[in-house]
C-alpha cells in the first residue's frame, strides 16, 4: 500500500505541487468572490436583515424597489452623472494625452503633475473640493467674483450638484490620461511622416491617424468609465455626509444601496439592488461592445 502511495505521489508530484501553490489563491477566490456572489443571489430573494434568520420572500424585494420613489431618483441621478462624466473624461483625457505626448521641456514634470491627483485618497479629494466649491467662501467662487462672473451654488443647488461631482471626477483622470498616453506611444511614427509628406496639417493627423488608431484604447476607457460612474459612491457620500442633499439630487445608486444595507438593515433589498446594478452595467457594456464593431479600428485591419 505504501509503495502504491509513494508511486502515486512521485507520478503526480508536479500536479500536486502546483495545486498546493495555487491553494491560497483558490481559497481566497472561493471565500471572497464565489461564495459572496452566490449568497448575494440567494439573499436578494429573502427578507434578510443582517441579524435575524433569512426568510424567503420571492421577488418581493424587487417589487418593493420598483415602487420606491427614492430608487428611481437614485437611478436617474446615477444616469445623469454617467452621461456627464464619461464623455467629458473621454474628451479631456484625449486632449491632455495629446498635449502631454508632444515633446517639450519639462514633459516629464507635466505628466507627473497630471497624475498626482489620482494619488490623493478620494475622501481627501472630496473634502478639499467641498471647501473649494463652497458657494459662500470657496476659492473658485472668489476667483469667479474677481473676474466678474457669478458663482454658482455648486453643492447647494439641484441643478449644479451633479455637474459639481463630475467636475471633481475630472480632476482625477490621471490614470485615464496615462492609458491614452500608452495608446499614443503605440501608433507608428511612419504614419505621421507619410501624412507630413502628403501635406496634412496637425489637426488632420489627429482626425485621420491619431483618433482612429486610438479607438481600441477609447473603447476600453469608455467601458471602465461606465463601470466607475455607475458605482460612484465616495464623492457624493462624503460631500453630503451620506444625506444625498439637496432634495436627493446627490442620492446616487450606490449610496442608496449602502443605506439599505447598513442603515435600514434591509440586506435583501441591498442584494437585489446589487444585482440590478450588475444587470445595468452588463447591458451598457454589451451596447458599447455591439457598437464597437462600427467605430473601433485596429492596426492592420
pLDDT digits (tens, 9 = 90+) for 152-177: 899 888 899 999 999 999 998 999 99
Mean pLDDT over residues 36-56, rounded? Answer: 86
Mean pLDDT over residues 49-64, rounded? Answer: 84
Q: Is 52's pLDDT higher than 80?
A: no
Mean pLDDT over residues 141-158, rounded? Answer: 90
Q: Which of 76-90, 142-156, 266-280 has the lowest mean pLDDT?
A: 142-156
| Amino acid 8: pLDDT | 67
Band of pLDDT at residue 5, cut at 50, 70 and 90: low
- At 232-267, the pLDDT tens digits run 999 999 999 988 888 899 999 999 999 999 999 999
Q: Is 181's pLDDT higher than 90?
A: yes
How far is residue 99's CA from residue 78's CA, in Å, rounded to a whole number?
31
| Amino acid 156: pLDDT | 87
Band of pLDDT at residue 106, cut at 50, 70 and 90: confident
Q: What is the pTM of this model?
A: 0.88
Q: End-to-end CA distance of the chain, in Å?
A: 62
For residue 148, count other CB atoms closer than 10 A to its CB. Answer: 6
| Amino acid 297: pLDDT | 85
C-alpha cell at 300: 492592420
Q: Is 84's pLDDT higher than 90?
A: yes
Amino acid at each position: 500500500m505504501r509503495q502504491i502511495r509513494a508511486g502515486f505521489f512521485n507520478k503526480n508530484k508536479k500536479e500536486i505541487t502546483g495545486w498546493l501553490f495555487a491553494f491560497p489563491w483558490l481559497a481566497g477566490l472561493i471565500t471572497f468572490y464565489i461564495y459572496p456572489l452566490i449568497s448575494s443571489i440567494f439573499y436578494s430573494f429573502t427578507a434578510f436583515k443582517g441579524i435575524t434568520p433569512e426568510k424567503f420572500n420571492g421577488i418581493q424585494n424587487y417589487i418593493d424597489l420598483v415602487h420606491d420613489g427614492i430608487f428611481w431618483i437614485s437611478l436617474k441621478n446615477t444616469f445623469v452623472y454617467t452621461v456627464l462624466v464619461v464623455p467629458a473624461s473621454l474628451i479631456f483625457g484625449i486632449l491632455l494625452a495629446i498635449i502631454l505626448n508632444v515633446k517639450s521641456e519639462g514633459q516629464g514634470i507635466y505628466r507627473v503633475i497630471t497624475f498626482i491627483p489620482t494619488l490623493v485618497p478620494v475622501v481627501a479629494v472630496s473634502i478639499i473640493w467641498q471647501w473649494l466649491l463652497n458657494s459662500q467662501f470657496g476659492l473658485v467662487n472668489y476667483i469667479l467674483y474677481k473676474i466678474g462672473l457669478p458663482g454658482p451654488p455648486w453643492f447647494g443647488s439641484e441643478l449644479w450638484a451633479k455637474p459639481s461631482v463630475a467636475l471633481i471626477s475630472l480632476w482625477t483622470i490621471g490614470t485615464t490620461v496615462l492609458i491614452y498616453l500608452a495608446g499614443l506611444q503605440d501608433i507608428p511614427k511612419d504614419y505621421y511622416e507619410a501624412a507630413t509628406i502628403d501635406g496634412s496639417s496637425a489637426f488632420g493627423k489627429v482626425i485621420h491617424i491619431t483618433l482612429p488608431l486610438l479607438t481600441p484604447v477609447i473603447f476600453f476607457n469608455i467601458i471602465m468609465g461606465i463601470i466607475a460612474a455607475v458605482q460612484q459612491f465616495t464623492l457624493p457620500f462624503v460631500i453630503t455626509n451620506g444625506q444625498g442633499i439637496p432634495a436627493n439630487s446627490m442620492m446616487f445608486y450606490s449610496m442608496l444601496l449602502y443605506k439599505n444595507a447598513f442603515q435600514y438593515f434591509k440586506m435583501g433589498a441591498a442584494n437585489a439592488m446589487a444585482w440590478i446594478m450588475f444587470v445595468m452595467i452588463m447591458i451598457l457594456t454589451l451596447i458599447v461592445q455591439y457598437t464597437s464593431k462600427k467605430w473601433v479600428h485596429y492596426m492592420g485591419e
